[in-house]
Amino acid sequence: DIVMTQSPDSLAVSLGERATINCKSSQSVLYSSNNKKHLAWYQQKPGQPPKLLISWASTRESGVPDRFSGSGSGTDFTLTISSLQAEDVAVYYCQQYYRTPWTFGQGTKVEIK
Amino acid sequence: QVQLQESGPGLVKPSETLSLTCTVSGGSFSSGSYYWSWIRQPPGKGLEWIGYIYFSGSANYNPSLRSRVTISVDTSKNQFSLRLSSVTAADTAVFYCTRAGLRGMDVWGQGTTVTVSS
């Protein structure tokens, strides 16, 4: 299985400040045939299902604010919230869909400082 | 807009079989572009992929659950279903059905809580 490891487990950021979440995969999730990284980011607010924020490691889904951005190489990825808003309080998960079993990181809880 | 809705018993006894159904509305269930998937989330914990099924009936399961899981599809009803046998308290979770494509899991049901208890 591809193991996804997120860091930190939680972070507290002041409103308007930057939040950075890291995700490391135990092997590359770069698919050579299409040169795309099969890595997604999800946001889960309390009592709600996860919501897809970013696919292909860096492509924002329609309607996702541009303060959310994703980046990374074949094994190391980052989700950045450039200016934290109150509504961004949530748990964030990375997930690889390069190979089954699809696997998730353990989650990073983002709170307001 | 595609919507997914899980349904099934909220309480299952230990050693019995958990059965859930996901109804797909607002879109073409038989589109060849998607995999129809189940995810679970134990209370206070992270997400675990259970498996998926293609509209043709071809399925792929998480090896950690493969011996106990069956996912089936009923295209005439726009539904796919999950069966998890020999459940224990460790199977207590919120179960989500999702649509998965080339971009990841872009549509999720609201989730249904299943408790395993006698």
The tens digit of pLDDT for each residue in B39-85 reads 999 999 999 999 999 988 999 999 999 999 999 999 899 999 999 99
CA distance B104 to chain A (A): 6
By the 8 A CB rule, do B98 and B105 touch?
Answer: yes
Determine the distance in angstroms separating the CA of B107 from the nearest CA of chain A, rounded to an integer.
8
pLDDT at B31 over 80: no
Q: Which of B62, B96, B103 sits opposite A55 (nearest CB)?
A: B103
Tell whether the model's pLDDT for residue A34 goes beyond 90: no
Residue B28 pLDDT > 80: no
How much is the pLDDT for A24? Answer: 98
Greater confidence (B55 vs A24) lies with A24
List chain A residues with CB under 8 Å of B111.
49
| Residue among B64, B100, B111 minimizing CB distance to A49 | B111
| Closest Cβ–Cβ partner in B47, B60, B64 for A50 | B47
Give the whole-angstrom CA distance, residue A42 versus residue A94.
Answer: 6
pLDDT band at A50 (very low <50, low <70, confident <90, very high): very high
Judge whether residue B109 has pLDDT over 80: yes
Give B78→chain A minimum CA distance, Å: 21
Q: What is the pLDDT of residue B58?
A: 93
Contact across the interface for B46 and A93, Cβ inside 8 Å: yes
Average pLDDT, chain B: 95
> Nearest-CA residue of chain A relative to B61?
A101
Mean pLDDT for the stretch of residues A97-102? 97
Higher pLDDT, A31 or A78: A78
- For residue B21, pLDDT over 80 is answered with yes
Burial group, residue A43, by CB count within 10 angstroms (0-12, 13-18, 19+): buried
Q: Which pLDDT score is estimated for B30?
A: 78
Tokens standing for residue A21: 């979440």
pLDDT at B29 exceeding the cut of 80 = no
Question: What is the Rg, in whole angstroms, of the alpha carbon atoms belonging to chain B?
Answer: 13
Supply the pLDDT for residue A93: 98
Query: What is the per-residue pLDDT for A108?
Result: 98
Rounded to whole angstroms, the Cα distance separating A52 from A78 reads: 15
Percent of chain B with pLDDT over 70: 100
Cβ of B105 and A107 within 8 Å?
no
| pLDDT value, residue B32 | 77
Q: CA of A60 to nearest chain B CA: how many angstroms apart?
A: 10
- How confident is the model over A17-21, as a mean pLDDT? 98
> Which of A42, A102, A106 lies at the smallest CB-CB distance from B49?
A102
Residue identified by tokens 């914990």 is B45
Q: Do A59 and B103 touch (CB under 8 A)?
A: yes
Contacts of B64 in chain A (CB under 8 A): 101
Q: Residue A62: what pLDDT?
A: 96
Q: What is the mean pLDDT of residues B2-31?
A: 94
Label residue A74 by pLDDT band (50, 70, 90).
confident
Instruction: Give the N- to C-terminal CA distance of chain B in Å, as an integer.
Output: 39
